[in-house]
Every structure is written in structure tokens, then in C-alpha cells.
Amino acid sequence: MGAPAFPFLGGVAMSEPCPGEPGKVAPVVDRNRCEAKDDCVRVCPYHVFEIQPLSFEDRATLSLLGKIKAWVHGNRQAYVVRPEACRACQLCVEACPENALRLAPYSVR
């Protein structure tokens, strides 16, 4: 049997994956916490995330502990590749075992 058509939130099936309006908020990744476990990728119904190699610029901003964690996890982390698609359901925030995600107001860069 396949995965449910819609994700579960708090043990209850949601009638829509994320009924919020896109483009209001977007996830922000705490680079010192992310361990690229891909829970955010799996739970997001709008494909907001991808696991990618850590960019040189992002690696340079890490604390010493963050650099060690990144190295241990293959220098890969979650990246928000479609921030405008986020619908604020917070499934990613709840799924992240490192508490490396938060939602913030979205602004086009």
C-alpha cells in the first residue's frame, strides 16, 4: 500500500496538504544544526527543499561545531529551493529532528 494522499499533522489526516497561501512565509535553515537527514524533503508536499552539497559561502559561516557536524554528514544540507511555494503548514518544522528549521516572512531577494 502506498503513502497517504495527504500528510498527517498531530496524528490526524489533513484535508489539504497545506491550505495556507503560498508566498507569505518561507523556511529558514539553521546551517549549524542541519544534518541533511531529509525529513523536510520527505514531508513537504510542495517540494520546497532539496538536499545539496553545502556551498562554500555557507560553510564559511559555520561555527566550529557546525563545521564538524557538516563534515560528519558529508557536507550536505537541506536547501530551500522553492521558497515561494511554502504554504506555512509547518510539517517540515515538526519533522526536523535537529530543530534546524523555522518559518519567516518571505521576501523576494
CATH code, domain with 50: 3.30.70.20
Domain presence at residue 1? no
Domain around 38: 31-105
Whole-number pLDDT of residue 7: 47
- Split into its structural domains, the chain has a count of 1
Domain presence at residue 66? yes
Domain presence at residue 6? no
- Count of alpha carbons within 13 angstroms of residue 78, beta-carbon side: 33
Domain presence at residue 25? no
Domain presence at residue 3? no
Domain presence at residue 5? no
**Mean pLDDT (10-residue bins), the chain, 109 residues:** 44 59 93 95 95 96 96 96 94 96 86
DSSP conformation class of 21 = P
Domain presence at residue 26? no
Whole-number pLDDT of residue 23: 87
Whole-number pLDDT of residue 109: 58
Whole-number pLDDT of residue 12: 39
